[in-house]
Structure 1
Amino acid sequence: LDTAAGPVTLVGAWRARVEKLAPAAGPVANNAPALGHNGLIAPLQGLSVRGVLWYQGEENAGRAAAYADGFKRLIQDWRQQFGDPDLPFLFVQLAAWRPLADNRPDGNGFAELRGSQAAALALPHTGMATAIDIGDAIDIHPRNKRTVGERLAAVAMHELGLRDAPAMGPRLIGGQARGAEFELRFDRT
């Protein structure tokens, strides 16, 4: 890169920092009501859709409790729109973000959102690929998409009956304290 002061090399580690966060004063185009549906889903009407892969949710961490019902309604609505009540809907549970100490299950919007995402598994023909172990402490969008893809593929193969082995790991379904110990109960062990 040439400047008035002479050449500047771009080789090596770069450093950056956020100077100031400036939230939008009102709705912006990407948050406009029905923008995503009208621009991305409605044009697919009439096509043969065999399933949905969904990887989204970071923006909903501030309203995680509402996400559980909203996500289920979205799945049911898309199934109705595509005329297939059994349309497979497979999704990625949010990856970890921020330093490990900040990824606690208490008081963390991402942790609560992960629970809201998992609640959609109550619907038939849904599957979830976890990504909490492949997150990035400094990047909300982890770069390891290969592992995410492999996990989604395993869930899809299981859903389509092409793989007998469980596609998802154990899921915590309960627990209880017993003195100095804690007993955990899982399904799909």
Structure 2
Amino acid sequence: IAVRVSNGSGKGQFIADKPYYLEVEGQKIDLKFEWKYKIGAKVDRIAPGQTFIRWKPTGLYNAMINPLINYNIKGALWYQGESNTGKPKEYGDLLTTMITDWRNKFNNKEMPFITVQLANFMESKAQPIESNWAELRDQQRKVSLQVPNAGLAVIIDIGEWNDIHPLDKKTVGDRLALQAMKLAYGKNIIADGPVYQSMKVDGNKIVLTFKAGTDDFAPVAELKGFAIKNAEGKWAWAKAKIEGKTVVVWNDSVTNPVAVRYDWADNPDGNLKNKTGLPASPFTTE
């Protein structure tokens, strides 16, 4: 087999757990095992490295947004955030400022703006720890709730641990379409999974409530993805159960709970959804 590789940065490699095969006349030949190889030819770089104009201030805006501002548009779909996970806490202000600026530029103060929340990514962790990816998702969640006529397409259940750009784009499009039908076209439909609203401490448990209309929970044998914080500031995995329109969270070893997190990890495994199959966004009660 002859393979030509063009690699501009990093090291060339096959990505673990991805399917690699040859398909000839309907027959698949698996290529995922160990290879023996010989480099037939190596070509030196024929040009200097790329200048990533999209990473420069004003690069994307001047090239791709400013030329459009004299057009009428129905709304905006925003699928970005991975490059901001190094400084996640500033993302909410940046995104809010950009939405306001675009609405001013397009002379449409109510222009629908729908964000795709970051998908689950990277290896799972055994313990509940801090996560920049979770923090950035929470910034996206808060913007969708605080900025008028903004929506959030949650894709925390379709990511891949080994691919920052997961292959399932159809589900992304379906969930964006639901948000667009509701925000831009005024359809009376369910476009969100359970949306966290408030918490109440009840003894050694915390009771969570969710936005009316999103609290028609799908039944599951065991809720996953919840962590609970004690008064000393330590997080531990928690049990959780659905009780009517609420979710009750506890850990038998935590007698003085103060906060709850859901799906707060790079690659969480939570399963809180509504009966239409839409997942709850990761959130923290803090």
Task: Specify if TM > 0.5.
Answer: yes
> Deviation per CA, 1:130-150, whole angstroms, max 9, x where unpaired?
001111111111111100100
What is the CA distance between 1:162 and its match in structure 2? 4.6
Residue of structure 2 aligned with 1:82, choices 106, 110, 115: 106
Partner of 2:208: 184
TM-score (norm 2): 0.56
Gaps of 5+ in 2: 4-20, 23-28, 36-50, 216-286
CA-atom RMSD in angstroms: 2.4
What is the CA distance between 1:176 and its match in structure 2? 3.6
Judging changes above 3 Å, is the alpha-carbon distance between structure 1 residues 137 and 34 closer, same or farther for their aligned structure 2 residues? same
What is the CA distance between 1:43 and its match in structure 2? 1.1
Aligned pairs for 1:1-189 (under 5 A) are 1=1, 12-13=31-32, 28-101=52-125, 106-121=129-144, 122-188=146-212, 189=215
Take 1:145 and 1:112, find their aligned partners in 2: how far apart are those partners?
23
The structure whose residues are more often strand, as a share, is 2
The alignment partner of 1:42 has SS state of helix
Judging changes above 3 Å, is the alpha-carbon distance between structure 1 residues 52 and 183 closer, same or farther for their aligned structure 2 residues? same
Judging changes above 3 Å, is the alpha-carbon distance between structure 1 residues 58 and 93 closer, same or farther for their aligned structure 2 residues? same
What is the CA distance between 1:165 and its match in structure 2? 2.0
The alignment partner of 1:151 has SS state of helix
TM-score (norm 1): 0.82
Partner of 2:26: none
Instruction: Spell out structure 1 runs of 4+ moving beyond 4 A.
Output: none
Take 2:159 and 2:187, find their aligned partners in 1: how far apart are those partners?
27
What is the CA distance between 1:29 and its match in structure 2? 3.1
Contact preservation (8 Å) 1:95, 1:134: yes
What is the CA distance between 1:169 and its match in structure 2? 1.5
> Deviation per CA, 1:60-88, whole angstroms, max 9, x where unpaired?
01111100111000000000000100111
Judging changes above 3 Å, is the alpha-carbon distance between structure 1 residues 110 and 128 closer, same or farther for their aligned structure 2 residues? same
Q: How many residues align?
A: 173
The alignment partner of 2:85 has SS state of helix
What is the CA distance between 1:48 and its match in structure 2? 1.3
The structure whose residues are more often helix, as a share, is 1
- Which entry has the higher C-alpha Rg, 1 or 2? 2
> Deviation per CA, 1:33-80, whole angstroms, max 9, x where unpaired?
100100110111211111101100001011111001110000000000
Take 1:120 and 1:100, find their aligned partners in 2: how far apart are those partners?
26
177-186 vs 122-131, which deviates more?
177-186
What is the CA distance between 1:113 and its match in structure 2? 0.2
